[in-house]
Amino acid sequence: MTRGITFRDVRKTFGATVALTNFDVTVHEGELITLLGPSGCGKSTALRIAAGFEVADSGDILIGDSSVIALPPSKRGIGMVFQNYSLFPHLTVRENLEFGMRVRRVSRAQRATRVDELLQLVRLSGLADRYPHQVSGGQQQRVALARALAVEPRVLLLDEPLSALDATVRVEVRDEIRRIQRESGIATVFVTHDQEEALAISDRICVMRDGRAEQVGTPQAVYRYPATSFVARFVGKVNDLEVELRSSTTVSLRGHAMEIEVPSTTLSVGEARLLIRPEDVRLVAAGDPRALPGTIENLHFGGATTSVEVFITGTGQSIQISDVTRAMNFGVGEEVGVRFDTDRALVIRS
Amino acid sequence: MRLSRALWWIVLVIAAVFYLVPMLAMARFAFQRIPVIKLAPDNIFSKWTIEPLLNTFADPDFRQAALLSVLLAVATAVATAVLLVPTMVAAHLHSPRARKLIEVSAVLPFVVPAIALVVGFAGAFRNTVPFFIRNPVGLVPLYMITALPFTHRTLENGLATLDLRTLVNASRSLGAGWVRTMVLVIAPNIRASIATASFLAFTVVLGEFTIASLLLKNTLPLYLAYAQGQNPQGSFALGLVLVVLSTVFVALSNRFARSVTT
């Protein structure tokens, strides 16, 4: 695969704070990678270094096969969409789209053709002569995306482009970004703190914490096989249970003797934690000998799935279960059994 | 509600009287061909003439002084726009401390007397770059400083309304360097502020007396002061014209600012 953009061992500090360290990620052509993490994890710093707005302490940024670390933003061949609305307020939509091409001295005729193409691409052909303040937030971000693509950059950088939008528009623009990115086949780095957004839009996700990449993988891999407890907790919901590690493959819930099989671990026996997704726990009828006994504390109807909170008898711990609504025939206060599908569970030191 | 409205009118009328009566007196003195002691309410509409003004316009000394003042005013306005805007943008983007420093030094001309400025300026340049003292161009930096309290505030207000960092980053990511970003993105978005600042700088220069006088440059205000002895009617006529012109400039700049922001 051809390389789009490569972060090579990038490091950045602000005073005593390490914003980014050992950061090594390659985004291939046609690929969309999300940098996902809580605020302060270094994801925006990474993007700003890629764009050239921030200078790395050490390391390199390659676009294609050539280093761009010494180039100013204007010479890097990037397209960028910002968190805040960034359209030039004094220019119409058309003029905004033309800006990069005018700077590059593209002829008037070529500019006009390209602008029409771009407007079609983002489905805003009717708005060419409006000013930014005359179009909605979602439309502004679509124009910003088109403007970034106008100069045919090698890499597209998106810095939380959806965070200023309200929920419904956000999903719409998100899907639009993905469609356009697929059509243009451009290497894209998408920064977000919203795990749902990351799961929905990415080819691969890079989960970041304290300036490091914790895990890089497809959304399925990151969700299904989190490399660390941080990833498990940050991407999707997870139950965090106190357990006793009995052997390398069995645990028991604190306060209950029943042994539960888990994927083989190298941790030594003793106190540990079991991380398991709500959908990997099943509700069964009370009295099932292979299930832990419990009582339903709460039911949250969520459309296709229902979220159930079960208090597990004798353990002092509750567990979240996500079940298909159609299959639900329990009520609050009812005694039930709880079974674990532990092949994707994670045992960690407590 | 009623009372406050009445109060509003009273204040307005008092203010109007305060400003307009001296102007009227000036106008009558300058433009009526009647000796001062005979000016009275009953002859307010008789014997008006613009001859004193025409006489002044015909004076070669006036022409020279007026030309010099206008040139200095234009130069000051342009220099302010070209130097102050990028400086303030840089401070906004890179150094909040520098921004604070500029803010404080921008009001200094209010408290530091012009004479101190000139003495310092002359002391520094007389032996190093005497050109600055001899040539009227040397007045431009001094006028920029004198106008700074007005120009800085105006530009600061304009910049504060922009998400400067995002706009600059967007422009640079699209391939524009600093100069183009300044000319194509920042300047058009604060053009109302730049215009207002330029008008204000222009007006300040047209009225500045002390500095020009101390450095022996024959600008318009100096001519006015000198002509008061020679041709009192003419100098008052000219003074009045300058007041009206300045008012028009300020009004124009306000109008321009409004038309851009709405």
Question: Is the pLDDT score of A271 beyond 80?
Answer: yes
List pLDDT tens digits, range A334-350.
Answer: 899 999 988 888 888 87
List pLDDT tens digits, range B169-189.
Answer: 999 999 999 999 999 999 999
Tell me the pLDDT band of B247, cut-offs 50, 70 and 90. Answer: confident
Q: Which residues of A touch B163 (CB under 8 A)?
A: 84-86
CA distance A131 to A71: 32
Q: Which amino acid is at A5?
A: I
B174 touches chain A (CB under 8 A): yes
- Across the interface, whether the CB atoms of A72 and B189 are under 8 A apart is answered no
Search chain A and give the residue with CA nearest B191. A90
Rg of chain A, C-alpha, whole Å: 25
Share of chain A above pLDDT 90, in %: 65
Top residue of A54, A75, A82 to mutate, by most chain B CBs within 10 Å, is A82
Q: Which residues contact A256 (CB under 8 A, 6 or more apart)?
A: A292, A312, A313, A314, A315
Tell me the pLDDT band of A229, cut-offs 50, 70 and 90. Answer: confident
Mean of pLDDT values over B41-61: 87
CB B164 within 8 A of CB A82: no
Question: Is the pLDDT score of B225 beyond 90?
Answer: no
Q: Which of A3-12, A15-24, A114-123, A224-233 has the lowest mean pLDDT?
A: A224-233
Measure Cα distances from A105 to A110, A119, A321 in Å: 10, 20, 59
Question: Is the pLDDT score of B262 beyond 50?
Answer: no
Tell me the pLDDT band of B257, cut-offs 50, 70 and 90. Answer: low
ipTM score of complex:
0.82
- Across the interface, whether the CB atoms of A103 and B167 are under 8 A apart is answered no
Question: Is the pLDDT score of A153 beyond 90?
Answer: yes
B167, B172, B184: residue with CB nearest A74: B172
- Across the interface, whether the CB atoms of B167 and A88 are under 8 A apart is answered yes
Q: Which of A47-61, B43-57, B199-213, B242-256 has the lowest mean pLDDT?
A: B242-256
Q: A residues 151-180 near B, CB within 8 Å? A: 151, 157
Q: Which residues contact B175 (CB under 8 A, 6 or more apart)?
A: A74, A75, A100, A103, A104, A151
- Across the interface, whether the CB atoms of A86 and B180 are under 8 A apart is answered no
Q: Which residues of A touch B184 (CB under 8 A)?
A: 99, 103
List pLDDT tens digits, range A300-331.
Answer: 888 888 899 999 988 889 999 988 877 777 88
Question: What's the count of helices (H) and strands (E) in chain B, helices before strands?
Answer: 15, 0
Domain with CATH 1.10.3720.10 in chain B: 52-261
CATH class of the domain whose range is B52-261: mainly alpha
List pLDDT tens digits, range B186-214.
Answer: 999 998 899 889 988 988 998 888 999 88
Question: Is the pLDDT score of B102 beyond 90?
Answer: yes
Question: Is the pLDDT score of B1 beyond 60?
Answer: no
CA distance B93 to B99: 9
B176 touches chain A (CB under 8 A): yes
Residue B99 gets which letter from DSSP? H
Average pLDDT, chain A: 91
Q: Which residues, in sequence order, are bridge partners of residue A159?
A: A191
B261 touches chain A (CB under 8 A): no
- Across the interface, whether the CB atoms of B163 and A84 are under 8 A apart is answered yes
CB A200 within 8 A of CB A235: no
| β-strand pairing of A335-340 with A281-285 | antiparallel
Tokens of A137: 């937030």
List pLDDT tens digits, range A73-132.
Answer: 999 999 999 998 899 999 999 999 999 999 999 999 999 999 999 999 998 999 999 999
Average pLDDT, chain B: 89
Search chain A and give the residue with CA nearest B260. A90
Three-class SS state of B130: helix
Q: Which residues of B touch A157 (CB under 8 A)?
A: 173
List pLDDT tens digits, range A19-58.
Answer: 999 999 999 999 999 999 999 899 999 999 999 999 999 9
Q: Which residues of B touch A164 (CB under 8 A)?
A: none
Q: How many CA atoms lie within 13 A of A297 on its CB side?
A: 13
CA distance B116 to B142: 11
In this prediction the pTM is 0.81
CA distance B257 to B262: 9
Residue B84 gets which letter from DSSP? I
Top residue of B168, B173, B178, B183 to mutate, by most chain A CBs within 10 Å, is B173
Rg of chain B, C-alpha, whole Å: 22
